């Protein structure tokens, strides 16, 4: 339970961070969709470890293998299985942690729930599980791009108290990828990198915020009440490891405004219904209104740090833990493709649901 996501475009991820491999099964991909291994690999390369001095130095190529559901480069309509094998796991490095609960990790809670846990690298609670999400998200991106030109772009908006001022309407993937911290504001990116390197040298970690924009979203995606588009986006983002907060549109800042200040006035633009502002973040009443979807996801500091921390053993004895191993001092640079993937998975699922319910693809706004 709890390892699958989506309704019509449904994924199930499997595998552990320090087991033989990680993978995903995609059920519901429409037949005929082009499936390009290189396209999937491109997103996995953005997520993989060891890509810069401010990420974990675990060396994994994360080479994706397509096991089923694709014939001559196109989806057959049957389940697509994707696999990435672990080659640099080093599970023996976790032997000293077998009987210790790591602070702010899932060790204790998994033990409490199941009575057993995978202590080598955190198992399913490890961010390595997101390989399957990113791989599936690459296919979702392709469907959305071909269907309606929809694109998603995420970037690091802040690291601790260092915040970038980015125009969400203009930011492009190429701008994001220019910096190892994945912030398109070059001067701020340099300060972010310096901060991450500073805390890494001190054996500590930092968190921050990833922002995302989804463009060319057709109006009409989303369902009333329980399957509101922003509710599914929130669930998707908060299901990512290390997430602690979600905002869409004006978010918490909107609570400081009055209704007259916050409302998005409707206008006609080139014969289309548009909103003059976009404090709603592209969603009203749980349904997309055709404007850009704007959201933010807060990530906590990485839980594994090299400083001594008080904890207890599985036998209930007090002890002090000083973690070893290879870990990200800040998860944000590698979280960017994860946020993009989860947004694409939600949007493609709702696009397919709208098509099934309304007898066709979402229409342009009247």
Min mean pLDDT across 63-77, 78-92, 170-184, 297-311 is at 78-92
Q: How far apart are the first and last CA of the chain?
A: 42
The yes or no reply on domain 4-358 and CATH 3.40.980.10 is no
Segment 100-129 shows an average pLDDT of: 90
Chain Cα centroid distance, residue 292? 18
Confidence band, pLDDT 50/70/90 cuts, at residue 123: confident
Both structure tokens of 264: 């998005």
What global pTM score does this model have?
0.95
Alpha carbon distance 288, 284 (integer Å): 6
pLDDT of residue 366: 47
Percent of the chain whose predicted confidence (pLDDT) is above 70 = 97
Q: Flag whether pLDDT at 339 surpasses 90.
A: yes
Alpha carbon distance 312, 159 (integer Å): 31
Percent of the chain whose predicted confidence (pLDDT) is above 90 = 81
What ranges do the domains of the chain cover? Answer: 4-358
Chain Cα centroid distance, residue 185? 21
């Amino acid at each position: 339970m709890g390892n699958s996501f989506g309704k019509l475009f449904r994924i199930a991820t499997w595998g552990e961070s320090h087991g033989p491999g990680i993978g995903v099964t995609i059920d519901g991909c429409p037949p005929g969709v082009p499936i390009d291994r290189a396209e999937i690999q491109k997103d996995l390369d953005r997520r993989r470890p060891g890509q810069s001095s401010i990420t974990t130095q675990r060396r994994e190529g994360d080479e994706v293998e397509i096991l089923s559901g694709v014939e001559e480069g196109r989806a057959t309509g049957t389940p697509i299985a994707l696999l990435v094998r672990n080659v640099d796991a080093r599970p023996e490095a976790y032997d000293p942690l077998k009987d210790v609960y790591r602070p702010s990790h899932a060790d204790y809670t998994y033990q409490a729930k199941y009575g057993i846990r995978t202590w080598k690298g955190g198992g399913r609670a490890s961010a390595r599980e997101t390989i399957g999400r990113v791989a599936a998200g690459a296919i979702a991106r392709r469907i959305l791009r071909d269907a309606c030109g929809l694109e998603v772009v995420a970037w690091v908006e802040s690291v601790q108290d260092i915040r970038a001022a980015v125009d969400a309407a203009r930011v492009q993937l190429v701008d994001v990828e220019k910096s190892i911290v994945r912030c398109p504001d070059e001067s701020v990116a340099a300060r972010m990198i310096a901060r991450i390197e500073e805390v890494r040298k001190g054996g500590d970690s930092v968190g921050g915020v990833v922002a995302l924009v989804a463009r060319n979203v057709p109006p009409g995606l989303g369902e009333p009440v329980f399957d509101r588009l922003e509710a599914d986006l929130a669930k998707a983002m908060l299901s990512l490891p290390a997430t602690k907060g979600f905002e869409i549109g004006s978010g918490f800042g909107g609570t400081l405004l009055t209704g007259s200040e916050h409302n998005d006035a409707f206008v006609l633009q080139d014969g289309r219904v548009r909103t003059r502002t976009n404090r709603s973040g592209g969603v009203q009443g749980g349904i997309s209104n055709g404007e850009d979807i704007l959201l933010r996801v807060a990530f906590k500091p990485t839980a594994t740090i090299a400083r001594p921390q008080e904890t207890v053993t599985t036998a209930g004895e007090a002890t002090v833990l000083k973690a070893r191993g290879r870990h990200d001092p800040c998860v944000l640079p590698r979280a960017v493709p994860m946020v993009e993937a989860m947004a694409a998975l939600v949007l493609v699922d709702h696009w397919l649901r709208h098509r099934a319910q309304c007898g066709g693809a979402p229409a342009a706004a009247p």
